[in-house]
Structure 1
């Protein structure tokens, strides 16, 4: 595999439909955007220190904007951009920006790593002429990026602007026997990752990353800074999987660290379609991977004409070989395929596809300007997909513009949680599918070709995945599922349910009721944000 997917994509607005409950996009949506903007910028000027605010008139505006854009598709002259970027370094900067936004009818969006799959942390689908003036609070600096590890308490306070790589690095420097079950992408921002639930290679042992959140500090719609005790358990429930940018801006999180053994084991084995009967392996993997011992994680990346099986085992290689021999002998894993290492070395192995990488690589936040375009969609599978469907899938991977599939198994600790324990409702699934396309060519034709492939294979799989609703993972945000607004910048609860129940199923209504309590004026919003539950 030549790429590590960790970015996001373009989708078209749905056409306007009728709906029941209409809520203005802004309290001041009918006002002239220029007046809103001027008042907002004046407010920022008197509320924040010099050098924190960047506007279109600032020489560094474009470079600051692009610093956390991970998708070239959203770095174009036609993309609506924020009226201001606040490079916040502490919670008071966030509070000031939120208060100014509420006062002048300008939405404030937060950005940590910039990995929102639709770029909604830094761009809008609507332009300012339709009431979509917005600003960005970028949290990649100062205390909002800090990581404080408490080894004796097995906890850490992490700023939302820190990357997962920075969290892993800080943990490893403090202890070789503690870790955190984050994703394989080290440049992903902590804020967005935890807000969507967050899963990674230790999910079968420890569950979602959000399950390990013990406390948080959040700036609410009034600009108040609240901890868990002050915000209450309903709001604390909502922010641990209810999606970023909905209920306030979380500036920091207290997480519980997990024990890791002295030695872990990894393998990556390639099984070509014909040589190893990869179709049969994929078919059996669906039932084997969710039922393996909880210390074993076995995912698959399907690309070109081969299935690449990747495993992390929390222990020495003998245990992994035994588990594979007992449960999945057809895969043919041998001791020579396995590599023993420390947990932090395994993080580097999966992030950069190789051994011997220096741990300092985890501190690299990635390119300061995007160099590729991306599109992704996701599904959940509850019943094994038949063998003939996998056989047909190989033809899709031969098409011009083909991308790849990533299959992440659940089971283990995940299956032990109620679907309502956090907003993330998909814990009983066998596995998640991500359909991922990427390209470096420019122009509309290239975008249509690659996005057409992603959408085409997604349609092909519809009969075999979750239904009523067809599920999706909120951290793989997909505007194809629907948007809140019509052409006049008006949103509704009924319209939002179309995409909301795909992400959250029965938890969506509860999230909307929490929203009504904590942000009834809908100050925190975007094209796929949770609206207040209507009275």
Structure 2
């Protein structure tokens, strides 16, 4: 009888708990629906008659919601059925829509994310651990080039391919020092301190920013003169999403020759790989600043044995002719064995396509395609190398990469202009003293969560192996290679402490200045995400 009573009571308890969970879930859904309704009503009420907003609001109940959401999800890890979805997406077309969104977010106490349509490795512009809605900037994509004063106004929702294409349409001797991937969004790239293969000649993307238009937490439209130099300093490498909504940037164009020279060559382990990479580490940061040679390490099948072996791929952009490049490489980097047949001369805009591995016959209009040719799940991490990896470290690296198979490791050389700009000129502190910026990259196609964990762990293993060889105290990281492994801010009473954990890795000694500016321009921490700049503790 006691057994039966115990079983019956357990059954009742199970029903009770199940009812509580079901009731709790129902309350959450009901509460979120209420917030959603209030947001829509608020947005509509604060919409200007000349710029109505109602047709630009997408809720999960809309048939087009998934299409709009997924259009700019570049990491399929965050495009699953279990990924938390925004309450709304507002595809703004006018600044008044952004002002209304800020006002309504504050009025309803709801988190507002701003998405520019770029690569956002951790999805922080469209994923959150709390209820939120998205202001989508993809309609803000104008690029207005002025060759006479060598500047251009670039909207935050433009992609780099659109920027490059519009510059080339006006001039064959001007460029912009930004990323090598055409589908990267200008919004996050510029304000995060972006870089590319013109870095050694002209510095970072954010180093060539001369003005900006933003909307602050009070809905005011500001430019450099009205926002002040502190805020302008902060958004040139400190990430705009912590401070305001970026509308557009005024960028400074740079000069390039009518013809540049490029090459892409690969070497495997049985081609003296250790000696070649060792020599590369010593010379790449010290070459003439007109030369940028990127190295990507991975694995491939050996043509001799068919087994996996290590491979190094070298990609070069040189602001000069073939003969000058050959002389430079033969004198400084002879082990590469570069030949004239490896080199190609072309316009700078053609080199953009070449560097990203497009086929030679690819039309320039491809740069206007806002969507990558393929999408995968991915994980990225970063490091800074201050001295060459010793030979024993390289030999251990070869063994580990064959074991792991999937991750790649890319070396981006410093030197040149990057060694001359002081660390506090912008929030981006990783300047003199660095030889290379490193990127760890793993892509996969399986959608299962267990497989995602497997590939993320592979990336972490490669990153862990490099610990003895990279920067220390702090182990530095690059903001535009967002990495949640560095810490998450839950925006509670420990916000400053949590923020400092990842903040000093991204910004080093510039972190505290960013916090002070944030506290002044956004004292209530309205502009926030899982790795935003915190305010000073009260």
Q: Deviations over 1:210-248 (max 9, x none)?
A: 011110001111111100001000000000100241001
Query: Counterpart in 1 of 2:42?
Result: 43
SS of the residue aligned with 2:325?
Answer: helix
**CA pair 199-385 structure 1, distance change in 2 beyond 3 A:** same
Q: 2: CA distance between counterparts of 1:66 and 1:152?
A: 39
Q: 2: CA distance between counterparts of 1:285 and 1:94?
A: 48
Indicate whether 1:299 and 2:284 are aligned. Answer: no
Unaligned 5+ segments in structure 1 are 1-30, 127-131
Asked if 1 retains the 8 angstrom alpha-carbon contact of 2:77 and 2:447, the reply is: no
**Which structure's relative contact order is higher, taking Cα pairs within 8 Å and 6+ residues apart?**
1
Task: Please state how far the C-alpha of 1:180 moved relative to its aligned partner.
Answer: 0.6
Task: Please state how far the C-alpha of 1:90 moved relative to its aligned partner.
Answer: 2.5
Indicate whether 1:503 and 2:506 are aligned. Answer: yes
SS of the residue aligned with 2:370?
Answer: coil
Indicate whether 1:534 and 2:537 are aligned. Answer: yes
Q: 2: CA distance between counterparts of 1:516 and 1:476?
A: 25
**CA pair 342-114 structure 1, distance change in 2 beyond 3 A:** closer
Task: Please state how far the C-alpha of 1:449 moved relative to its aligned partner.
Answer: 2.0
Q: 1: CA distance between counterparts of 2:240 and 2:409?
A: 25
Query: Counterpart in 2 of 1:87?
Result: 91
SS of the residue aligned with 1:466?
Answer: coil
Query: Counterpart in 2 of 1:139?
Result: 137
Query: Counterpart in 2 of 1:407?
Result: 411
Q: 2: CA distance between counterparts of 1:422 and 1:399?
A: 40
Query: Counterpart in 2 of 1:174?
Result: 170
Query: Counterpart in 2 of 1:254?
Result: 250
With normalisation by structure 1, the TM-score equals 0.90
Asked if 1 retains the 8 angstrom alpha-carbon contact of 2:75 and 2:377, the reply is: yes
For 1:460-479, what aligned pairs fall within 5 Å after superposition? 460-479=465-484
Query: Counterpart in 2 of 1:11?
Result: none
- Compare CA radii of gyration and give the structure with the larger one: 2
The 10-residue stretch of structure 1 (50-59 or 175-184) with the greater mean CA deviation from structure 2:
50-59
SS of the residue aligned with 1:137?
Answer: strand
1:54 counterpart (52, 58, 65) = 58
Indicate whether 1:282 and 2:277 are aligned. Answer: yes
Number of aligned positions between the proteins: 493
Q: 2: CA distance between counterparts of 1:371 and 1:324?
A: 36
Asked if 2 retains the 8 angstrom alpha-carbon contact of 1:218 and 1:226, the reply is: yes
For 1:43-442, what aligned pairs fall within 5 Å after superposition? 43-48=42-47, 49=52, 50-124=54-128, 126=129, 132-141=130-139, 144-275=140-271, 277-304=272-299, 305-366=310-371, 371-400=375-404, 402-428=406-432, 429-442=434-447
Query: Which structure shows the bigger proportion of residues in helix conformation?
Result: 2
Q: 1: CA distance between counterparts of 2:471 and 2:66?
A: 41
Q: Deviations over 1:394-416 (max 9, x none)?
A: 12221255221111011100111
SS of the residue aligned with 1:474?
Answer: coil
Q: 2: CA distance between counterparts of 1:371 and 1:258?
A: 32
Unaligned 5+ segments in structure 2 are 1-29, 300-309
Task: Please state how far the C-alpha of 1:35 moved relative to its aligned partner.
Answer: 4.8
Q: 1: CA distance between counterparts of 2:145 and 2:494?
A: 42
Q: Deviations over 1:315-354 (max 9, x none)?
A: 1111111110111111111211100000000001112343
Query: Counterpart in 1 of 2:515?
Result: 512
Q: Deviations over 1:148-199 (max 9, x none)?
A: 0001111000000000000001011111111111111101100000111000
